[in-house]
A and B are shown apart, each in its own frame.
Chain A
Amino acid sequence: MSAEWYAVIVATLGCYAAKIAGHSVPQRFLEKPLVQEVSDALPIALLMALVAVQTFAVGQTLQVDARAAGLCAAVVALMLRAPFLVVVVVAAAVAAGFRAVGWSA
């Protein structure tokens, strides 16, 4: 079995474990203020870290390329309240455009 399959299966089991835990564990554990605050902050921190790394990293080096232009376009689209698919397509199109005219790698 490939490494991708292991990742897919283990992560799927982990995510389901979180879902079923919420329906099964005693409420008093998850209702602690600290646990709730951390859980609110966790998606914000992880998703913004993913945005940064996926925009500026190539392996372990940082570089500014067409993806940064795509991200700027995505932010503008979000500020204009564009739906998800439009945000993603606009970002891809702008990045592809920058590459096509040779402005960036």
Chain B
Amino acid sequence: MSLTGSDPAIHWHVERRGILVNAVSVGLATAAYGVSFGAISVTGGLTVLQTQVLSVFMFTGGSQFALVGVLIAGGGGASAVATSVLLGVRNAFYGVTMAPVLRVTGIQRMIAAQLTIDESTAMAVSRSVEHDDGRASRLAFWSTGLSVFVFWNLATLAGALGASALGDPRVWGLDAAIPAGFIALVWPRLRDRRSWAIGLCAAAVALALTPFLRPGVPVLVTAVVAVIAGVTAVRQRAAA
């Protein structure tokens, strides 16, 4: 038996360890969002239990921040729910990517769906889905999903309990922490002129409509900006 890196068993052993280390690192990184989410949610008026229910059962950061953010701003339940669910639509596309790699059914598929988020999908697609029948990709998905789930929930609880002791959120600048959280979430998606144009256009539309519509509704209307951007992109590609 050779001990070189070309030996499949040893190669897998090394790759496996790399995948697991990455999974823990990504989990720890998301813990930072989790603490912020827990703190913002509780200072904004949700209970510790409601905050924790979101992290366990909704388990998709952008949607959780959106729900809490719109509720805190006085946007009302319907707008908060709609914004939150629209932000969660991207997870459906991650599911389409992951389903042929995972090939699970029944209860395993229900758990896989719950773990289908930005981080688990990104780590899974960074590994080969062909080599060894996609074994590395599957391990990356499950390990990252579970790691993020554990750290995200522990961090949410820490943030929620910590913030219960803080008092008036404005004194601590926590109302400024909410837009800061949103800009940090969108930052990696602002990759080129096109994405900046979509983002700035949506921001302008939301501000322009704020005086005329109930809080929460202007943000929802910017979904139209996304539809227009999509139609333009498809037409441009067809014309090219």
> A residues bordering B, Cβ < 8 Å?
3-8, 10-12, 14-25, 27, 30-31, 33-57, 59-62, 66-67, 69-71, 73-75, 78, 83-85, 87-97, 99
Contact = CB atoms under 8 A, between A and B. Distances in A.
Nearest to B116: A19
Contacts of A88: 36, 177, 180-181, 184
B10 interface: no
Q: Could you say which interface size class chain B belongs to?
A: 35 or more
A44 B219 CA distance: 12
A11 B65 CA distance: 12
B185 A47 contact: yes
Decide if the interface of chain A is mainly helix, strand, loop or mixed: helix
A33 B210 contact: no
Interface in B200-216: 200-207, 210-215
Decide if the interface of chain B is mainly helix, strand, loop or mixed: helix
Interface of B: 29, 32-33, 35-36, 45-47, 50, 53-54, 57-58, 60, 62-63, 65-67, 69-71, 73-74, 77, 80-81, 83-96, 98-100, 102, 109-110, 112-114, 116, 170-187, 189-190, 195, 198-207, 210-215, 218-219, 222-223, 225-227, 229-231, 233-234, 237
